Amino acid sequence: MKNIVLIGFMGTGKSTIGRELSRRTSWKFLDMDQLIEKEQGRTIPEIFAAEGEEYFRQLERDLVKRLSEKSRLIISTGGGTAKNPDNVADLKKKGVVICLYADVDDIYARTSRRGRRPVLDQYEDRRQAIVELLAQRQPMYDQADYKVSTSNTNLNDVCNEIIRLAKR
């Protein structure tokens, strides 16, 4: 059985949907950001502040290499994991990669709290930052095997669609 790997922009529901998929499949759920925080003993914002994004992306890359060797996992990637095409290629070796996407207004509403999204926190106009970052990252998200919207739908329907796609 292949892993189910969730990629996509921050605020698209990767962690929430990943936990529900784990419950339904009895596969282990791994949230990459949470794993990095646990291994580093500090939060993602703290890592970004102390070491910078490049350091964080290397931690992420190392974790992808480890996880891509395992199977029967539900993996929630960080919002920028797909920035590195090698990450996506490795995750596809033993997994089906699903890109979760949402409308800009939904992402904005879901990511409005400052202090938890270091990439967005550096921008004065968060909504415009989301628009720009989505446009920049779109080619990366296009690498996914499938895309599933998390706007104007519910958790049950999203999970059913992902399970259906993963069985193909």
Q: Domain coordinates of the chain in residue numbers?
A: 3-157
121 pLDDT more than 80 = no
pTM: 0.89
Distance, in Å, from the CA atom of 71 to the CA atom of 94, rounded to the nearest integer, reads 7
Q: Domain 3-157, what architecture?
A: 3-Layer(aba) Sandwich (3.40)
Find out whether 54 and 77 touch, Cβ atoms under 8 Å.
Answer: no
Average pLDDT over residues 146-168: 95
Residue carrying the six token digits 């936990």: 19
Q: pLDDT tier at 131 (50, 70, 90 boundaries)?
A: very high
What does each C-alpha distance from 131 to 44, 83, 128, 143 come to in angstroms? 22, 16, 5, 19
Average pLDDT over residues 128-144: 91
Find out whether 76 and 6 touch, Cβ atoms under 8 Å.
Answer: yes
Burial class (CB in 10 A: 0-12, 13-18, 19+), 155: middle
